[in-house]
A and B are shown apart, each in its own frame.
Chain A
Amino acid sequence: MSDDNDLAGNIKDELTEVIHIKDPKIFVIEWLPFDSNQLRELNKKMDIEKGAHKTLLTGLIDKQPNVPIFQSKGAHTKVFVEDYELDSFVNLQAIIDLPEEEGIAQVEEMAIFVSRDGFIIYSLELAEIENLNTYMSIDKITRVVADLCQDSSVVIDSLLTEFQRNFIEIIFGDPIHRPKTICYVGDDIKIRHEDIKDYYDGEEFEIELSQLLGEGHEPFQVGNNLFFKGSRGTCAIVDKFDKETEYQIVFWGIQHAMNNFVDNFMSRIWELYDQTKQVKKIVDEAVAGNTDALNTVTEEITVITSTISLVGQIKEFLKDSSKDLLEIYGKNEKCNLDGFYEVENSLKSSQRRILESEKIISGLLTELDGLRNYVATLSELQMRKMSKVMTKNTKSMNEVLQANTRTSEAIDMIELILAGSIILEIFAFAVGEITTEQTFFGSILGGEGFGKDQWITLALLVISVFAWITIVILLRRSKKKMEIEALQDFFVTLSVNRKIDTAKMEEYISVRTVQIKNVENDKDNTIISYVWDGKDDPNLLGKEIEKVSLSYNATNCLLLSIEIETSVLDIPQDELLGYLMEDLEAKEIFIK
């Protein structure tokens, strides 16, 4: 790695480098929701219980549980367990092997300390940057840190549970790009000022410190040792990096990381508060009668409530952790840096903020609960209104039906009268009006007997009754025919679910006059549907079938359903389906 050509970079500008620190150590610190269970899960993932010493880490998921082999692209992070307590902490060594741009050579090894209290410390010593191996410029170090921040997220992401990933997504949105606290420690500084305040020149030195620590940083000096802390991190130049100094710096980083998390956590709560306000507006629209708004708002309330519940869970992790961290910090001895770093005050401030967030979370939940009840009442009212309208409609329908029945009966009566009138008209036209001095029965009863006239009259009466009945039947039939023609076609559907030879099926359909073909693809299946003309189907000629619809699953070769459409009501359903099914059997389309 010391070959000059190896350690290059891709910086596009000539850098103005004024601060160089000797043998820098970097601590990247973040806080994530952890507890004993999460840590135990992490340790299990590391195979610790089997005593395994080296595990390749990957965030990949086994998506083919039934396949006995597994493929990967090759670039992974190697992790060694240095020390652990199953549900308290784990100390790891990671060798990161992630793809880099051409010409960039990185040997990235770091230690990772994960505590059940949620803090994760990625720590390393920089041995070389672009061929510099003693004093390294801040400009270059910040570029290393940008890389570390991203790579550390990738490494830890493969160790987290899905439960924790959900939390990260809720708070930061992006699982990789999240803020972290950086602590820098160097053994010496190349350009040393006797008084630390001389670094605050308003020019290059101060600007480089801002670049490293964020704006508004402040200094502290103890003899030869220099300390700076800012909004993004801290930097210490110390002759001897002893345990006390490390403890102060690392603990400042832990509280800063926790405060960072609380900042984002609070932002998320305020966002949820805004979303709830938005929901109230939609409820107002629903009150004004917008039924679409009523549907939307129910869904919105469910989503927001579920997110707030998760935020509430995160708050519990924060609450426990802040309490524990105060306890841990309190039990250890402090050095003279305690006053500068103010760790205890900051931890207490985090704790107060977390406790205060409880009020907002519970307020939001109560408000959402109220909104949910209000929306439920609105829905109920809406349902009642609909039910009333339905009852009214049903009543009207019944009235229409009754009127129809009465009309139908009246039509039947009219039919009879009409038939009678028609027959009388026919007779009047055929034989003219029959006039006798006495009526048919009068002449018989008057003793004139049953003569020729009576026979003729009787015959005419019988003929007219017979004709009347015939006309009534004819009228009925024509009425029924008109009714059938007014009705829509008749459909028969069969759910088949049998294995087919799809190639044969396609061949079968290819000789039909296909009117519609539809292909639906989803994640797992391809469903193909056809509709063809029944009158042009060589198998169905003369069978009075209008259309045939068929759909099959091309992925698992399953015939799903067939549907036959006919305008003739009196063909039995089995017969209709039989025409097609028997033909499919005969063509050996079904696989036995």
Chain B
Amino acid sequence: MSFEDKTPESSKVETFESLTRDQQLLLYTIDYLTKWMVSDEHFVRNEGDKVWIKELPLWAIMYYQITHGSYETYDYAPIPIQFFGRSSFTVNLSYEGVDDVEDLRELDVLEKIRLSTSQHGFVTAYRITEIGDKYLLKIPKDVIDEVEKLFFCESCQKRMHFYMNMGDNPSVLMDCPDCDESDVHLDFLESEDVSYVSKPYFLKISDMLKR
């Protein structure tokens, strides 16, 4: 099997203006997350090193933004994913967002990296490229405000930080470094229920499944 770059050449020369508002918002969100979402006391930034945002927190933030009406066209659905190659959890994932991440990659605005985990799964992470940095300069103020408004503490207006607990009871939350009571629990891992009625379907082929 051979792999080839199926990206049409024409799309690679698209300009910032060709990005949808949701794509601009996503791009600025990724930039914001790599710069501000982890406090320096929890993360040592070495000069010259590239900072990447891992896929799972990006999805969690995307979900948080969708539930706050930030995106115009994104919705989400409960999708089973495996954490670190073990338990399968349902996360509220936006495939429109996932698709836009791919579109931004095709435009060379984002780049992607794959990391191994100690449990033999893989983790994907993203960062903005130099082309992306140029695009960032053109992001309109209303988009920047839309992103930033969700990441500042309502009480003291300090930047909130982001935490993931990937233990037995995984959870994702943001908290304010100064106010103890302003934690925001992102219910990214709690699937929503719908009411439904189902009836059993008995296989027509049960005889064919026997030895």
Contact = CB atoms under 8 A, between A and B. Distances in A.
Asked whether A and B interact, the reply is: yes
Interface of A: 1, 6-16, 25-27, 82-83, 85, 88-89, 91, 93-94, 100-101, 104-111, 113, 115, 117, 119, 121, 123-130, 138-140, 142-147, 149-150, 172-174, 177-180, 202-203, 206-208, 210-211, 215, 232, 243, 246-247, 250, 264, 266-267, 270-271, 274, 324, 327-328, 332
Interface in B43-96: 66-67, 73, 75-80, 82, 85-90, 93, 95-96
A44 B71 CA distance: 54
B119 interface: yes
B198 A207 contact: no
Contacts of B121: 267
Contact of B196 (A126, A150, A173, A243): A126
Contacts of A207: 95-96, 99
Contact of B85 (A115, A146, A264): A264
A143 B210 contact: no
Nearest to B88: A179
The 9 closest A-B CB pairs, nearest first, are A146-B78, A174-B87, A111-B200, A7-B195, A9-B194, A267-B85, A179-B88, A128-B197, A173-B86
A14 B71 CA distance: 11
Contacts of A146: 78, 80, 90, 191
A42 B190 CA distance: 32
A127 B168 CA distance: 35
A30 B90 CA distance: 16
B210 A129 contact: no
Nearest to B93: A211
Contacts of A104: 193-195
A328 B211 contact: yes
B80 A83 contact: no
Contact of A15 (B75, B98, B99): B75
B95 A89 contact: no
Contact of B203 (A14, A107, A123): A123
A89 B195 contact: no
B210 A328 contact: yes
Contacts of B96: 16, 207
B180 interface: no
Given A13-B67, A247-B208, A274-B118, A126 B79 contact: no
Contacts, number: 199
B138 interface: no
Contacts of A12: 67, 192
The interface centre, meaning the residue of A26, A83, A101, A179 with most chain B CB atoms within 10 A of its CB, is A179
A143 B146 CA distance: 29
B194 A140 contact: yes
A588 B7 CA distance: 94
A100 B211 CA distance: 39
A243 B204 contact: yes
A9 B96 CA distance: 22
A178 B194 CA distance: 21
B197 A127 contact: yes
B206 A113 contact: yes
Given A9-B192, A109-B198, A127-B198, A142 B85 contact: no
Contacts of B194: 9, 11, 104, 129-130, 140, 143-144, 147
B88 to A, nearest CB: 4
Interface residues of B, number: 46
Given A123-B202, A246-B203, A105 B195 contact: yes
Contacts of B66: 13
A149 B195 contact: no
Interface string B102-122: 000000000000000011110
Given A10-B193, A172-B86, A123 B75 contact: no
A15 to B, nearest CB: 5
Contacts of A128: 196-197
Given A13-B67, A91-B206, A125 B88 contact: no
A142 B78 contact: yes
Given A139-B75, A207-B95, A246-B203, A124 B86 contact: no
B141 interface: no
B198 A110 contact: yes
Main SS of the interface on chain A? mixed
B3 interface: no
A149 B90 contact: yes
Contacts of A211: 77, 79, 93, 95
Contacts of A232: 80
A432 B191 CA distance: 114
Contacts of A9: 192-195
A415 B133 CA distance: 100
A13 B75 contact: yes
Given A16-B75, A149-B80, A178 B88 contact: yes
Interface string B124-166: 0000000000000000000000000000000000000000000
B182 to A, nearest CB: 20
B90 A324 contact: no
B87 A173 contact: yes
Interface in B167-211: 168, 191-206, 208-211
A123 B205 CA distance: 12
Contacts of B211: 88, 117, 324, 327-328
The interface centre, meaning the residue of B67, B193, B198 with most chain A CB atoms within 10 A of its CB, is B198
14 contacts: A100-B193, A119-B209, A123-B203, A127-B199, A144-B194, A149-B88, A173-B87, A174-B87, A180-B80, A180-B88, A210-B95, A250-B203, A250-B209, A271-B85
Given A107-B197, A124-B198, A211-B95, A85 B210 contact: yes
The interface centre, meaning the residue of B79, B121, B209 with most chain A CB atoms within 10 A of its CB, is B209
Contacts of A94: 200
A109 B205 contact: no
Nearest to A85: B210
A106 B191 CA distance: 15
A142 B95 CA distance: 13
B199 A143 contact: no
A207 B93 CA distance: 12
Contacts of A100: 193
A143 B193 contact: yes
Contacts of B195: 6-9, 104-106, 129-130
Nearest to B208: A332
Given A110-B198, A178-B87, A271 B80 contact: no
Contacts of A115: 209-210
Contacts of B191: 143, 146-147
Given A115-B210, A174-B168, 14 more contacts: A7-B196, A7-B197, A13-B75, A89-B210, A91-B203, A106-B195, A107-B197, A113-B206, A127-B197, A129-B195, A178-B87, A206-B99, A266-B120, A324-B211
Given A127-B199, A173-B86, A210 B98 contact: yes
A208 B210 CA distance: 35
B200 A93 contact: yes
Contacts of B193: 9-10, 100-101, 104, 106, 143, 147
Contacts of B90: 146, 149-150, 177
Nearest to A25: B201
A174 B87 CA distance: 6
Interface in B13-32: none
